[in-house]
Amino acid sequence: MPELAVRTEFDYSSEIYKDAYSRINAIVIEGEQEAYSNYLQMAELLPEDKEDLVRLAKMENRHKKGFQACGNNLKVSPDMPYAQEFFAGLHGNFQQAFSEGKVVTCLLIQALIIEAFAIAAYNIYIPVADDFARKITEGVVKDEYTHLNYGEEWLKANFATAKEELEQANKENLPLVWKMLNQVQGDARVLGMEKEALVEDFMISYGEALSNIGFSTREIMRMSSYGLAG
Ligand code: Y39
Ligand code: FE
Ligand code: FE
Ligand code: FE
């Protein structure tokens, strides 16, 4: 576990804080926007779960509005082109999988990887956030556990047929997450979020999800460190 947070004071109105926030806030807004559209697309692939998936999509849209309010509150304008570029790899892979009807890959990318990334980022952000953003983020992170749980339950119920595709999709997508974490670590640190804490929290959520789905400890170790070194 990370050491108990020594609550550092942040000057939320300093230029250095606002500059870093313009990128991290954009990443979160773009992520929520893409999550919204990813759940709507998954609803097309899984008509039997359509109602549930549309409900999850709507939650993502609310998250997006919440985080836009956080940026406004700090008088920061989010750098959306930067954020679109940040998500381009995962976005492209999701769209490719969707076009091929590969629902297992879509679920792995959005409902496991991106949700575990969101849970890590929001958990680590909450103790260092301004009061306004903290309240918003506390509400959001509860929803993200619901989303992760949806992916877990579906993949657990279909584990036998999904296993191979999950391993392949993990191989293709987890390295992108480590790259994204490296790319964002400087800005994250300005906000008081350490990369080591983000990696740790991600590993916990993702590893627990893989375990609940049916992977063995050995498989989880192999899968969750894939691409971590390079
Ligand atoms: O399911 C969701 O709501 C996920 C879209 C949101 C992704 C958030 C991604 C956060 C990464 C931020 C990295 C900051 C350190
Ligand atoms: Fe969300
Ligand atoms: Fe989400
Ligand atoms: Fe989510």
76 CB within 6 A, ligand 1: no
| pLDDT class of 30 with cuts at 50, 70, 90 | very high
158 CA to middle of ligand 1, Å?
26
Model confidence over 32-50: pLDDT tens digits?
A: 999 999 999 999 999 999 9
The ipTM value here is: 0.94
Residue type for 172, please? E
Percent share of the chain, pLDDT over 90: 93
34 CA to middle of ligand 4, Å?
10
Percent share of the chain, pLDDT over 70: 95
| pLDDT the model gives residue 204 | 96
115 CB within 6 A, ligand 1: yes
Q: Under a CB-based contact definition with an 8 Å cutoff, are residues 143 and 208 in contact?
A: no
Q: Determine the residue of 21, 28, 178, 185 to mutate for testing ligand 1's pocket, defined as the one with the most ligand atoms within 8 A of the Cβ atom.
A: 28
| pLDDT the model gives residue 6 | 53
Model confidence over 48-96: pLDDT tens digits?
A: 999 999 999 999 999 999 999 999 999 999 999 999 999 999 999 999 9
Model confidence over 122-173: pLDDT tens digits?
A: 999 999 999 999 999 999 999 999 999 999 999 999 999 999 999 999 999 9
| pLDDT the model gives residue 7 | 53
Which has more pLDDT, 3 or 153? 153
| pLDDT class of 118 with cuts at 50, 70, 90 | very high
**Residue (of 123, 4, 138, 118) closest to 70 by Cα position:** 138
With b for 16 or more beta-carbon neighbours within 10 A and e for fewer, the 186-218 pattern comes to ebbebbbbeeebbbebbbbbbbebbeebbbeee
Q: Considering only CA atoms, which residue is closest to atom 9 of ligand 1?
A: 118
Q: Over 60: is that where the pLDDT of 114 sits?
A: yes
Q: Over 80: is that where the pLDDT of 104 sits?
A: yes
187 CB within 6 A, ligand 1: no
Q: Under a CB-based contact definition with an 8 Å cutoff, are residues 88 and 50 in contact?
A: no
197 CB within 6 A, ligand 1: no
145 CA to middle of ligand 4, Å?
8
Q: Over 80: is that where the pLDDT of 26 sits?
A: yes
